[in-house]
Amino acid sequence: MSQTLRGQFEYSLNRKIAEGGMGAVYEAVQFGVEGFKKTVAVKSIIEDLSTNQEFVEMFIGEAKLVADLVHENIIQVYQLERVGNTLYIVMEYIDGVDLDEFTRRHQALGREIPIDLCAFIASRICRGLDYAHRKTDAQGNLLGVVHRDISPRNIMITRLGVVKLGDFGIAKARNILASREGDVLMGKAQYMSPEQSEYRETDPRSDIFSLGIVFFQLLTGVSIFDNPDTSVTLQNVGRAKVPSIRKYNPNVPEELEEILKRALQRRPEKRFQSAGEMGYALEYYMYHDRFGPTNVTMEKYLRELFPEKALPQQPVAARAGGTAEIGPKATMVVEREPTSTTRRRNYQ
């Protein structure tokens, strides 16, 4: 497909990359002056909902909230556009895979996801969540952000190995996004917390429970509460016993088993009390006695797992300093200084 949107900027929509209940996401090119071009993602609200004031307010609220959430592990929002009667969110384009695609590729190859990489992915989402949960407004007032939709489809891994959380479409935040809790149930049933599934008030600890479900699934391939009947799934979330992870993957270390048990406590006061606390526990497991995984580790692993998506290998510089020809009679010499600054000299 090829469609041009002309709002404050001009966007060429190249292809649809995702579609959900509220809208679709397209890979697009943003054009600016002097030949400026940038690849972005454009999220639209579907036409049938464009006249539904509640959904329009949620769509606008998501854009306003995430615009101020600037963090390596959160997909960045750049702009909210209106073209005619249709709203668009312009956001960071993620050249990579979501966790659903990541796990399905392992299943297709008959491979298990390395345990340390599971812990790494969960730890990065913890860091993104902790930032969002602690976010304040310009006056220092806590926004009270709760994502409420942590699931494999909303977690992305870029080709450079950076883990990112996206889709704050049903998040709540004080004075930005309404909660509707006690009235409307929103989210994916098999990834809800008990309080969310029972229409009760949620706080950041709800996201910790949901992340625990995703983490369990990464380690085992099992969605612990899922059932073809949504009502049964909701009952499972609220009451079913959380199985021992050793039943499905006996190779999971005790340290990670304990982290999972704490994240999946039914009573919020027994869980980790912040995503930062859970993130620290995961990082301690990965790094306290060895050199654990990094973005580079993940990048190399994705290159092996998805060779069709691999970036071309970049040439490695031979050394920090060197010379560069910049004209027929001009040579620039660049030297690395101890203070990490550079010095130019020897212009002929």
Alpha helix (H) residue ranges in the chain: 53-67, 99-109, 115-133, 194-197, 204-220, 230-239, 254-263, 275-287, 295-305
Q: Please pick, among 130, 149, 167, 207, the residue that the annotation labels catalytic.
A: 149
Q: Check if 149 is active-site.
A: yes
Would you give the DSSP letter of residue 319?
Answer: -
For the four alpha carbons of 110, 116, 118 and 121, in that order, the dihedral sign comes to negative
Determine the residue type at 176. I
Could you write out the DSSP letters of every residue in 14-34?
A: EEEEEE-SSEEEEEEEEE-GG
φ, ψ at 326 (rounded to 5°): -120, 15
Could you write out the DSSP letters of every residue in 204-265?
A: HHHHHHHHHHHHHHHHHS--TT--SSHHHHHHHHHHSPPPPGGGT-TTS-HHHHHHHHHHT-
Catalytic residues: 149
